[in-house]
A and B are shown apart, each in its own frame.
Chain A
């Protein structure tokens, strides 16, 4: 796990996880009902503020945001 993935994982745990459930970088988030399309906005906004980027809506699809690994990839792609 690199630093980017760690940062995102920490945020996800803090922001969405209740009653101490354990998750890793490949745990499904949206398809498992941990994050939904409504609460996902805070994750997207966090990434945009933290990395000073803008994530277009087509890049923030439920598939791309389904686990920490692929979210990190979206950020990497935009950062170039």
Chain B
């Protein structure tokens, strides 16, 4: 095992999958010589050549749309969207095309496609380099939405995504690309798409989160543990299809639930988790379900004090946990 960063684990996953299966190829902006603006594809152009690491025109709808066509032909494209903020030109291709192909053709055509996109704020990126886009896509039947929170899961989940017969949107917490480090096995393994992971057991409060916020959730859980509050941290990992069983079992044990994401509150993914709990674990609740999310403003602002106001962090999460514990 080697310790590596999140972005290294992602690169390793792609490298191994490309070596394993010659149908796998990468397409996106600056993925070639530049190795991607975040260096996720570094060295792959040199190793696999321009036909398997394709520098695309600056046009997201066609990055996904062309990927769909190649997938229909039998290849296994990994499409890189440079920032999740720029995925919207491809919304039509993802939602109307990739996600519906299997259903609308009654299974004649399927789309084994991975779309990778760095998401999230706290990196001084302002409105258009900070967005969380998961809620738009987790709503869409036919699409799988995966968000890793650590290097081990990132490698295993991305490999699972490449091997998946259906379209997978793989959102990468870009703030964590170099911040999140961990042990990653050299050998081949997959982390299955679907199951959530209890990353810290606890009996007082269930904390549901994913991606970058998982990092702060663990910190917050540690902070309040010193005060005698035992938090169970559940890393959802896959937002679609969601692991309702793990969510409900956890709440049935703890009786309290806090949901944390940096995407803004209204219509956010947390609403789905809250509804799941209300429907499936109502009698077990000792307190209202709480959400700690980004505020309902149109984006993460640039200037530091404004950005800090927007972003959830360990302190804010710890405060929410204390309030819920005291309920």
Whether chains A and B associate is no
Residues in chain B within 8 A of chain A (CB atoms):
none
Q: Which residues of A contact B (CB under 8 A)?
A: none
